[in-house]
Chain A
Protein backbone atom coordinates (compact mmCIF):
# COMPACT_ATOMS: atom_id res chain seq x y z
CA UNK A 1 0.00 0.00 0.00
CA UNK A 2 2.70 2.45 1.03
CA UNK A 3 4.62 1.48 -2.10
CA UNK A 4 1.63 2.30 -4.29
CA UNK A 5 1.55 5.77 -2.73
CA UNK A 6 5.26 6.26 -3.29
CA UNK A 7 4.97 5.16 -6.92
CA UNK A 8 2.11 7.54 -7.74
CA UNK A 9 4.14 10.72 -7.92
CA UNK A 10 6.94 9.58 -10.26
CA UNK A 11 4.42 7.78 -12.49
CA UNK A 12 2.30 10.91 -12.86
CA UNK A 13 5.35 13.04 -13.63
CA UNK A 14 6.50 10.48 -16.21
CA UNK A 15 3.08 10.42 -17.87
CA UNK A 16 2.80 14.22 -18.01
CA UNK A 17 6.23 14.60 -19.61
CA UNK A 18 5.70 11.69 -22.02
CA UNK A 19 2.30 12.98 -23.13
CA UNK A 20 3.70 16.50 -23.59
CA UNK A 21 6.65 15.24 -25.62
CA UNK A 22 4.43 13.11 -27.87
CA UNK A 23 2.17 16.12 -28.44
CA UNK A 24 5.17 18.12 -29.65
CA UNK A 25 5.42 20.44 -26.65
CA UNK A 26 8.89 21.79 -25.90
CA UNK A 27 8.72 20.18 -22.48
CA UNK A 28 11.75 21.82 -20.89
CA UNK A 29 10.77 25.34 -21.97
CA UNK A 30 7.22 24.76 -20.72
CA UNK A 31 8.55 23.46 -17.41
CA UNK A 32 10.78 26.50 -16.88
CA UNK A 33 7.95 28.84 -17.82
CA UNK A 34 5.68 27.25 -15.23
CA UNK A 35 8.39 26.99 -12.58
CA UNK A 36 8.96 30.77 -12.78
CA UNK A 37 5.45 31.26 -11.41
CA UNK A 38 6.47 29.21 -8.37
CA UNK A 39 8.98 31.84 -7.30
CA UNK A 40 6.54 34.74 -7.38
CA UNK A 41 3.82 32.65 -5.73
CA UNK A 42 5.95 31.66 -2.77
CA UNK A 43 7.30 35.18 -2.29
CA UNK A 44 3.72 36.43 -2.14
CA UNK A 45 2.84 33.66 0.32
CA UNK A 46 5.62 34.35 2.81
CA UNK A 47 4.00 37.31 4.66
CA UNK A 48 0.75 35.35 5.09
CA UNK A 49 2.61 32.34 6.44
CA UNK A 50 4.70 34.42 8.85
CA UNK A 51 1.54 36.02 10.23
CA UNK A 52 -0.32 32.74 10.64
CA UNK A 53 2.52 30.68 12.07
CA UNK A 54 3.55 33.42 14.53
CA UNK A 55 -0.06 33.58 15.74
CA UNK A 56 -0.29 29.82 16.23
CA UNK A 57 3.12 29.62 17.92
CA UNK A 58 2.10 32.37 20.36
CA UNK A 59 -1.17 30.58 21.07
CA UNK A 60 0.66 27.35 21.87
CA UNK A 61 3.61 28.68 23.86
CA UNK A 62 1.52 31.06 25.99
CA UNK A 63 -0.21 27.98 27.36
CA UNK A 64 -3.60 29.32 26.26
CA UNK A 65 -4.31 26.38 23.95
CA UNK A 66 -3.60 23.91 26.77
CA UNK A 67 -5.86 25.89 29.10
CA UNK A 68 -8.74 25.81 26.61
CA UNK A 69 -8.21 22.06 26.13
CA UNK A 70 -8.31 21.62 29.88
CA UNK A 71 -11.65 23.41 30.03
CA UNK A 72 -12.98 21.03 27.42
CA UNK A 73 -12.33 17.93 29.58
CA UNK A 74 -15.90 17.70 31.04
CA UNK A 75 -17.30 17.75 27.49
CA UNK A 76 -15.13 14.74 26.64
CA UNK A 77 -16.40 12.90 29.69
CA UNK A 78 -19.98 13.57 28.68
CA UNK A 79 -19.24 12.09 25.22
CA UNK A 80 -17.65 9.00 26.73
CA UNK A 81 -14.27 9.57 25.09
CA UNK A 82 -10.85 10.11 26.57
CA UNK A 83 -10.29 13.79 27.41
CA UNK A 84 -7.07 13.73 25.37
CA UNK A 85 -9.06 13.61 22.09
CA UNK A 86 -10.57 17.10 22.26
CA UNK A 87 -7.24 18.98 22.23
CA UNK A 88 -6.53 17.16 18.98
CA UNK A 89 -9.86 18.34 17.56
CA UNK A 90 -8.98 21.92 18.51
CA UNK A 91 -5.43 21.67 17.23
CA UNK A 92 -6.22 19.94 13.91
CA UNK A 93 -7.72 22.95 12.06
CA UNK A 94 -5.02 25.33 13.33
CA UNK A 95 -1.68 23.56 13.11
CA UNK A 96 -0.85 20.58 10.92
CA UNK A 97 2.55 19.86 12.45
CA UNK A 98 1.16 20.39 15.97
CA UNK A 99 -1.67 17.95 15.29
CA UNK A 100 0.73 15.31 13.89
CA UNK A 101 3.00 15.59 16.91
CA UNK A 102 0.04 15.35 19.27
CA UNK A 103 -1.43 12.35 17.41
CA UNK A 104 1.92 10.60 17.64
CA UNK A 105 2.04 11.19 21.40
CA UNK A 106 -1.51 9.80 21.76
CA UNK A 107 -0.62 6.70 19.73
CA UNK A 108 2.44 6.13 21.90
CA UNK A 109 0.60 6.76 25.15
CA UNK A 110 -2.57 4.73 24.51
CA UNK A 111 -1.37 2.37 21.77
CA UNK A 112 -2.37 2.71 18.09
CA UNK A 113 -5.02 -0.03 18.29
CA UNK A 114 -6.74 1.27 21.44
CA UNK A 115 -10.03 3.13 21.11
CA UNK A 116 -8.37 6.49 21.80
CA UNK A 117 -5.58 5.67 19.37
CA UNK A 118 -8.09 4.78 16.67
CA UNK A 119 -10.23 7.88 17.18
CA UNK A 120 -7.08 10.01 17.06
CA UNK A 121 -5.92 8.32 13.84
CA UNK A 122 -9.29 8.79 12.15
CA UNK A 123 -9.70 12.38 13.32
CA UNK A 124 -6.19 13.42 12.30
CA UNK A 125 -6.55 12.07 8.76
CA UNK A 126 -10.12 12.99 7.93
CA UNK A 127 -9.63 16.77 7.62
CA UNK A 128 -6.91 19.16 6.53
CA UNK A 129 -5.41 22.12 8.37
CA UNK A 130 -8.34 24.47 7.76
CA UNK A 131 -6.82 27.82 8.72
CA UNK A 132 -3.60 27.09 6.89
CA UNK A 133 -5.44 26.25 3.67
CA UNK A 134 -7.69 29.32 3.97
CA UNK A 135 -4.77 31.67 4.69
CA UNK A 136 -2.58 30.24 1.94
CA UNK A 137 -5.20 30.22 -0.82
CA UNK A 138 -6.81 33.56 -0.06
CA UNK A 139 -3.53 35.15 1.05
CA UNK A 140 -1.94 34.39 -2.31
CA UNK A 141 -4.82 36.13 -4.11
CA UNK A 142 -5.05 39.06 -1.71
CA UNK A 143 -8.66 38.71 -0.57
CA UNK A 144 -9.54 40.01 2.88
CA UNK A 145 -13.26 39.44 3.05
CA UNK A 146 -13.82 35.70 3.15
CA UNK A 147 -17.64 35.63 3.47
CA UNK A 148 -18.81 32.15 4.59
CA UNK A 149 -15.52 30.28 4.03
CA UNK A 150 -14.58 29.71 7.67
CA UNK A 151 -18.04 28.71 8.98
CA UNK A 152 -18.43 26.23 6.11
CA UNK A 153 -14.96 24.77 6.63
CA UNK A 154 -15.37 24.48 10.40
CA UNK A 155 -18.72 22.70 9.94
CA UNK A 156 -16.72 20.07 8.08
CA UNK A 157 -14.14 19.84 10.86
CA UNK A 158 -16.87 19.43 13.46
CA UNK A 159 -18.56 16.73 11.36
CA UNK A 160 -15.22 14.92 11.10
CA UNK A 161 -14.87 14.91 14.90
CA UNK A 162 -18.40 13.51 15.38
CA UNK A 163 -17.92 10.89 12.66
CA UNK A 164 -14.48 9.86 13.96
CA UNK A 165 -15.96 9.13 17.39
CA UNK A 166 -19.10 7.56 15.93
CA UNK A 167 -17.36 5.22 13.45
CA UNK A 168 -14.82 3.96 15.99
CA UNK A 169 -17.53 3.45 18.64
CA UNK A 170 -19.74 1.58 16.16
CA UNK A 171 -17.32 -0.50 14.08
CA UNK A 172 -14.54 -0.82 16.63
Chain B
Protein backbone atom coordinates (compact mmCIF):
# COMPACT_ATOMS: atom_id res chain seq x y z
CA UNK B 1 0.00 0.00 0.00
CA UNK B 2 2.69 2.52 0.98
CA UNK B 3 4.65 1.25 -2.00
CA UNK B 4 1.92 2.21 -4.47
CA UNK B 5 1.12 5.48 -2.69
CA UNK B 6 4.70 6.63 -2.57
CA UNK B 7 5.23 5.70 -6.21
CA UNK B 8 2.11 7.68 -7.14
CA UNK B 9 3.17 10.70 -5.09
CA UNK B 10 6.62 10.96 -6.67
CA UNK B 11 5.68 10.24 -10.29
CA UNK B 12 2.53 12.39 -10.25
CA UNK B 13 4.44 15.32 -8.69
CA UNK B 14 7.25 15.15 -11.27
CA UNK B 15 4.80 14.85 -14.18
CA UNK B 16 2.62 17.68 -12.88
CA UNK B 17 5.64 19.93 -12.33
CA UNK B 18 6.84 19.23 -15.89
CA UNK B 19 3.47 20.28 -17.30
CA UNK B 20 3.03 23.34 -15.08
CA UNK B 21 6.64 24.49 -15.48
CA UNK B 22 7.47 24.22 -11.77
CA UNK B 23 10.12 21.56 -12.37
CA UNK B 24 12.90 23.87 -11.14
CA UNK B 25 11.30 24.03 -7.69
CA UNK B 26 11.39 20.28 -7.33
CA UNK B 27 15.15 19.99 -6.98
CA UNK B 28 15.15 22.39 -4.03
CA UNK B 29 12.10 20.58 -2.64
CA UNK B 30 13.95 17.27 -2.83
CA UNK B 31 16.92 18.61 -0.89
CA UNK B 32 14.74 20.51 1.58
CA UNK B 33 12.54 17.47 2.21
CA UNK B 34 15.45 15.19 3.00
CA UNK B 35 17.12 17.65 5.31
CA UNK B 36 13.80 18.29 7.07
CA UNK B 37 13.63 14.55 7.76
CA UNK B 38 17.13 14.61 9.27
CA UNK B 39 16.28 17.69 11.37
CA UNK B 40 13.14 15.97 12.60
CA UNK B 41 15.07 12.82 13.51
CA UNK B 42 17.74 14.78 15.35
CA UNK B 43 15.17 16.86 17.22
CA UNK B 44 13.24 13.68 18.09
CA UNK B 45 16.36 11.75 19.14
CA UNK B 46 16.63 13.42 22.55
CA UNK B 47 13.01 13.00 23.56
CA UNK B 48 12.97 9.45 22.15
CA UNK B 49 15.91 8.51 24.37
CA UNK B 50 14.48 10.34 27.39
CA UNK B 51 11.04 8.74 27.16
CA UNK B 52 12.35 5.25 26.49
CA UNK B 53 14.54 5.77 29.54
CA UNK B 54 11.59 6.76 31.75
CA UNK B 55 9.57 3.88 30.29
CA UNK B 56 12.33 1.45 31.34
CA UNK B 57 12.17 2.78 34.93
CA UNK B 58 8.37 2.42 34.90
CA UNK B 59 8.68 -1.14 33.59
CA UNK B 60 11.34 -2.21 36.08
CA UNK B 61 9.37 -0.82 39.00
CA UNK B 62 6.22 -2.66 37.92
CA UNK B 63 4.32 0.57 37.27
CA UNK B 64 3.37 -0.24 33.67
CA UNK B 65 2.21 -3.70 34.72
CA UNK B 66 -0.06 -2.14 37.35
CA UNK B 67 -1.50 0.27 34.80
CA UNK B 68 -2.04 -2.64 32.44
CA UNK B 69 -3.88 -4.56 35.17
CA UNK B 70 -6.20 -1.63 35.81
CA UNK B 71 -6.93 -1.10 32.11
CA UNK B 72 -6.80 -4.79 31.27
CA UNK B 73 -10.56 -5.23 30.68
CA UNK B 74 -10.49 -2.56 27.97
CA UNK B 75 -7.11 -3.41 26.43
CA UNK B 76 -7.87 -7.14 26.56
CA UNK B 77 -11.09 -6.59 24.67
CA UNK B 78 -9.48 -4.42 22.01
CA UNK B 79 -6.38 -6.60 21.71
CA UNK B 80 -7.53 -10.17 22.44
CA UNK B 81 -4.24 -11.57 21.05
CA UNK B 82 -2.33 -9.98 23.93
CA UNK B 83 -4.84 -10.71 26.71
CA UNK B 84 -2.28 -12.79 28.60
CA UNK B 85 0.69 -10.54 27.91
CA UNK B 86 1.03 -7.86 30.57
CA UNK B 87 4.28 -6.50 29.12
CA UNK B 88 2.68 -5.62 25.78
CA UNK B 89 -0.51 -4.41 27.48
CA UNK B 90 1.59 -2.15 29.70
CA UNK B 91 3.34 -0.60 26.71
CA UNK B 92 0.03 -0.10 24.91
CA UNK B 93 -1.37 1.57 28.06
CA UNK B 94 1.58 3.94 28.32
CA UNK B 95 1.19 5.01 24.69
CA UNK B 96 -2.58 5.50 24.96
CA UNK B 97 -2.22 7.48 28.20
CA UNK B 98 0.43 9.74 26.66
CA UNK B 99 -1.93 10.35 23.72
CA UNK B 100 -4.84 11.13 26.06
CA UNK B 101 -2.73 13.65 27.96
CA UNK B 102 -1.60 15.26 24.71
CA UNK B 103 2.06 14.33 25.23
CA UNK B 104 2.83 13.70 21.55
CA UNK B 105 6.58 13.68 22.18
CA UNK B 106 6.18 10.84 24.64
CA UNK B 107 3.49 8.93 22.74
CA UNK B 108 5.65 8.13 19.71
CA UNK B 109 8.59 6.54 21.58
CA UNK B 110 6.20 4.60 23.83
CA UNK B 111 4.22 3.46 20.80
CA UNK B 112 7.37 2.37 18.97
CA UNK B 113 8.38 0.31 21.96
CA UNK B 114 4.92 -1.33 22.01
CA UNK B 115 5.18 -2.06 18.27
CA UNK B 116 8.62 -3.61 18.70
CA UNK B 117 7.35 -5.85 21.51
CA UNK B 118 4.37 -6.93 19.39
CA UNK B 119 6.51 -7.63 16.33
CA UNK B 120 8.86 -9.80 18.40
CA UNK B 121 5.87 -12.00 19.28
CA UNK B 122 4.64 -12.04 15.69
CA UNK B 123 5.99 -15.01 13.69
CA UNK B 124 4.51 -13.88 10.37
CA UNK B 125 5.95 -11.28 8.00
CA UNK B 126 2.63 -9.41 7.84
CA UNK B 127 1.54 -7.30 10.83
CA UNK B 128 -0.79 -8.92 13.39
CA UNK B 129 -4.36 -7.70 13.92
CA UNK B 130 -3.28 -6.12 17.18
CA UNK B 131 -0.48 -4.17 15.51
CA UNK B 132 -2.84 -2.83 12.85
CA UNK B 133 -5.43 -1.77 15.41
CA UNK B 134 -2.72 -0.14 17.51
CA UNK B 135 -1.39 1.90 14.56
CA UNK B 136 -4.92 2.85 13.54
CA UNK B 137 -5.63 4.05 17.11
CA UNK B 138 -2.54 6.21 16.81
CA UNK B 139 -3.69 7.75 13.51
CA UNK B 140 -6.86 8.89 15.30
CA UNK B 141 -6.66 11.54 17.95
CA UNK B 142 -7.62 10.70 21.54
CA UNK B 143 -6.44 13.88 23.18
CA UNK B 144 -8.42 15.18 26.17
CA UNK B 145 -7.19 18.78 26.05
CA UNK B 146 -6.08 20.07 22.64
CA UNK B 147 -3.88 22.71 24.24
CA UNK B 148 -1.93 23.48 21.07
CA UNK B 149 -5.09 24.29 19.14
CA UNK B 150 -6.42 26.48 21.96
CA UNK B 151 -3.11 28.33 22.07
CA UNK B 152 -3.19 28.85 18.30
CA UNK B 153 -6.77 30.14 18.47
CA UNK B 154 -5.93 32.47 21.34
CA UNK B 155 -2.94 33.85 19.45
CA UNK B 156 -5.27 34.70 16.54
CA UNK B 157 -7.46 36.72 18.90
CA UNK B 158 -10.21 34.20 19.65
CA UNK B 159 -12.69 35.36 22.29
CA UNK B 160 -13.23 31.76 23.44
CA UNK B 161 -10.29 29.53 22.46
CA UNK B 162 -11.75 26.48 24.25
CA UNK B 163 -15.31 26.88 22.91
CA UNK B 164 -14.73 24.19 20.29
CA UNK B 165 -13.70 21.61 22.89
CA UNK B 166 -17.00 19.63 22.84
CA UNK B 167 -16.92 19.64 19.03
CA UNK B 168 -13.40 18.24 19.05
CA UNK B 169 -14.38 15.53 21.55
CA UNK B 170 -17.38 14.47 19.47
CA UNK B 171 -15.47 14.55 16.17
CA UNK B 172 -12.41 12.69 17.47
CA UNK B 173 -14.44 10.11 19.41
CA UNK B 174 -16.64 9.51 16.35
CA UNK B 175 -13.61 9.15 14.09
CA UNK B 176 -11.95 6.80 16.57
CA UNK B 177 -15.09 4.69 16.79
CA UNK B 178 -15.30 4.49 12.98
CA UNK B 179 -11.76 3.24 12.48
CA UNK B 180 -11.94 0.74 15.34
CA UNK B 181 -15.22 -0.55 13.88
CA UNK B 182 -13.62 -1.00 10.45
CA UNK B 183 -10.73 -2.94 12.03
CA UNK B 184 -13.06 -5.16 14.06
CA UNK B 185 -15.31 -5.86 11.06
CA UNK B 186 -12.32 -6.90 8.93
CA UNK B 187 -11.02 -9.07 11.80
CA UNK B 188 -14.36 -10.86 12.09
CA UNK B 189 -14.60 -11.42 8.36
CA UNK B 190 -11.09 -12.86 8.32
CA UNK B 191 -12.00 -15.18 11.20
CA UNK B 192 -15.14 -16.36 9.39
CA UNK B 193 -13.15 -17.03 6.22
CA UNK B 194 -10.50 -18.90 8.22
CA UNK B 195 -13.17 -21.04 9.91
CA UNK B 196 -15.11 -21.99 6.81
Interface residues of B, dominant DSSP:
helix
B37 touches A137 (CB 8 A): no
Q: How far is the CA of A111 from the CA of B30 in the complex (A)?
A: 34
Which of chain B's residues 137-196 have a Cβ closer than 8 Å to chain A?
Answer: 138-141, 143, 145-153, 156-164, 166-168, 170-172, 174-179, 182-183, 186
Chain A residues whose CB sits within 8 angstroms of the CB of B10 once the complex forms: 55, 58
A107 touches B156 (CB 8 A): yes
CB contacts between A and B, total, < 8 Å = 342
- Closest residue to A54 on the B side, CB-wise? B33
Chain A residues whose CB sits within 8 angstroms of the CB of B75 once the complex forms: none
* Contact of A125 with B172 at beta-carbon distance under 8 Å, contacts A54-B33, A56-B33 already known: yes
Interface size of B by CB at 8 A reads: 103
Q: How far is the CA of A171 from the CA of B86 in the complex (A)?
A: 42
B41 touches A112 (CB 8 A): no
A20 touches B61 (CB 8 A): yes
A112 touches B157 (CB 8 A): yes
A17 touches B112 (CB 8 A): no
B132 touches A55 (CB 8 A): no
A152 touches B149 (CB 8 A): no
Point out which of A13, A51, A54, A141 has the most chain B C-beta atoms below 10 A from its C-beta. A54
B37 touches A50 (CB 8 A): yes
Q: How far is the CA of A39 from the CA of B41 in the complex (A)?
A: 10
Which of chain B's residues 95-118 have a Cβ closer than 8 Å to chain A?
Answer: 101-103, 106, 108-109, 111-113, 115-116
B49 touches A127 (CB 8 A): no
Q: How far is the CA of A149 from the CA of B126 in the complex (A)?
A: 12
Q: Would you give the 0/1 interface string for A1-25, flagging 1 where the beta carbon is closer than 8 Å to chain B? A: 1101110110011001101101101
Q: Give 29 CB contacts A-B under 8 Å.
A: A1-B150, A5-B147, A6-B147, A8-B102, A16-B54, A16-B57, A16-B61, A17-B54, A20-B58, A25-B60, A35-B50, A35-B53, A50-B37, A53-B33, A53-B37, A57-B29, A58-B26, A111-B157, A123-B171, A125-B148, A126-B141, A127-B172, A144-B2, A146-B127, A149-B1, A156-B140, A157-B139, A163-B175, A164-B171
